[in-house]
Amino acid sequence: MGAEPANRGGDAPATSSARRRSRRAPVVLLPPSEAKATGGRGAPWAPGTGALPELDEARAVVLAALGDGVARAPTMRAIDRYTGVLYGQLDWASLSPAAKRLGGRSVLIASGLWGMSAPGDPRPHYRLKASANLAPFGRLSTWWRPQLTAALAGHLAGRLVWDLLPNEHAALWAPAEVPCGRRVTVRFLDRHDRTVSHWNKLLKGALVRHILEERPAGPEELGGWEHPSGYRVDVTASRLDDDPAQLVLRETTSGAAVG
């Protein structure tokens, strides 16, 4: 299972109506999780085994800096390796077959070791933050930025991008240099107009699940959706004509508690 190759199919014109009609799969950018499954039955990572192979040389040098313990470790699919609350709420195993196929082409998971991974990419157990300083590279997010931006420029061109990266992982690329068809960021607000931080990953997991199952053509199509934890789109607070578009979901009195 790999990410969809860049430039497959025609790019839609830059108008909003054409963007909504684009047949190209969207892209969903996710952070990794600190919580990871241990073990694995796959062979150690090797170049040419996953998405964005143009990053393999960079991956290899970062991996070498971590030592043989990670380089020789067994692997499992990235979507199985990451077990944090976002991935628990996404619940990949219970997605429909169509949603899994879309997710395999659409989801990219950012990290300080791999740059980006598709759900099916083989990954060993590791611990390395994108904000970490690792000799001889310095801060990894800064080191990765030009390489990852160049790789994503072709991969994301003309596509709808749901950018759900927190600041630490957003620093891995320069979105202003990537010709996305449309980039959408998401913000969750509680009933007191405060940005939700503690439960942000859990809330994003349910949103990604909805995107993969329903494949909305843009944030406008989420207007009637109620998040299972009781959030709805706030049309007034959202800024959908901006670049990037910002979608705001506000807590209502209904829905399951997240505490």
CA distance 210 to 76: 25
Q: Is residue 10 part of a domain?
A: no
pLDDT at residue 255, as a whole number: 52
Lowest mean pLDDT among 46-55, 66-75, 141-150, 162-171: 66-75
pLDDT band at 186 (very low <50, low <70, confident <90, very high): very high
- pLDDT cut 70: percent of the chain above it: 88
Which two structure tokens, joined as six digits, stand for 186?
Answer: 């998401």
Distance of CA 156 to CAs 170, 184, 218, Å?
15, 13, 15
Number of domains in the chain: 1
Q: Is residue 11 part of a domain?
A: no
Mean pLDDT of 6-16: 36
pLDDT at residue 198, as a whole number: 80
Q: Is residue 6 part of a domain?
A: no
Is the confidence at residue 258, as pLDDT, over 80? Answer: no
Is the confidence at residue 114, as pLDDT, over 50? Answer: yes
CA distance 36 to 125: 7
CA distance 95 to 37: 20
- Domain span holding position 206: 16-251
Is the confidence at residue 38, as pLDDT, over 90? Answer: yes
pLDDT band at 256 (very low <50, low <70, confident <90, very high): low
| Radius of gyration for the alpha carbons in the chain, expressed in angstroms and rounded | 18
Q: Is residue 240 part of a domain?
A: yes
Q: Indicate the average pLDDT of the chain.
A: 90
For 220-230, write each residue's pLDDT tens digit: 999 999 999 99
Q: Is residue 7 part of a domain?
A: no
- pLDDT cut 90: percent of the chain above it: 86
Q: Is residue 257 part of a domain?
A: no
Q: Is residue 1 part of a domain?
A: no
Q: Is residue 258 part of a domain?
A: no
Q: Contact 231/248 with Cβ under 8 angstroms?
A: no
pLDDT band at 28 (very low <50, low <70, confident <90, very high): very high
Mean pLDDT of 15-43: 80
Rounded to 5 degrees, φ, ψ at 137 are: -90, -25
pLDDT band at 24 (very low <50, low <70, confident <90, very high): confident
Is the confidence at residue 242, as pLDDT, over 90? Answer: yes
pTM to 2 decimals?
Answer: 0.89
